[in-house]
Amino acid sequence: LYFAAMKISPSLFAGLIAGALFVQPAGAAEKLLPPVSVDAVEEGGGRIEKLLEGALELVGIRYRRGGGSVETGFDCSGFVGHVFRERLGLALPRTTHQISRTGEPVPHADLQPGDLVFFNTLRNAFSHVGIYLGDHRFVHAPRQGRAVRVEDMREHYWARRYNGACVVPPAPQHA
């Protein structure tokens, strides 16, 4: 009943809570963050809810370089591509750099849930991508030995490496 009144599905709410439990910077003790705000998720309507729900359902799937499926694991661009394809029917380019050129740039102050956020993790601009959740958090496939997880963009590591963001336009509607 609470979920219906808040216009959020129980599975999305559970995913947001579970996602917050996976935040753990490398070498740090586990830390918990409050769940992503419900209002932020509602703003994009069903499209954004489907996208975020799909991304958060994959938390815990292992990282695999070049991976793009639940069965094989994901790298960052494979993860983002899988979520957009499965949840929204959008085919994104395969590499992070190509994905960064797909959408419209978004200023950091204007980030909305569902936007793509990019980082310089390999000494190359736009070498890592994740999906913004709201409240300074994003979900991504980080690196070998890790799994899909939620992180806080204010963490020193991510804040120093932030390159920018874009919004991916919806697929064209065919009559």
Q: Is 140 a catalytic residue?
A: yes
Give the Cβ contact number of residue 69 at 10 Å. Answer: 13
Q: Which of 82, 108, 128, 136 is catalytic?
A: 128
Question: Cα(30)–Cα(149) distance, rounded to whole angstroms?
Answer: 13
76 assigned to active site: yes
Catalytic residue among 76, 108, 136, 166: 76
Can you tell me whether residue 65 is helix, strand or coil? coil
Query: Which residue of the set 82, 108, 136, 140 is catalytic?
Result: 140
Helices 76-88/45-56 angle, 10° precision: 140
152-156, Cβ contacts within 8 angstroms, sequence gap of 24 or more: 152/23, 152/33, 153/117, 155/25
Query: How far from chain centre, in Å, is Cα 25?
Result: 16
Q: Which residues are identified as catalytic? A: 76, 128, 140
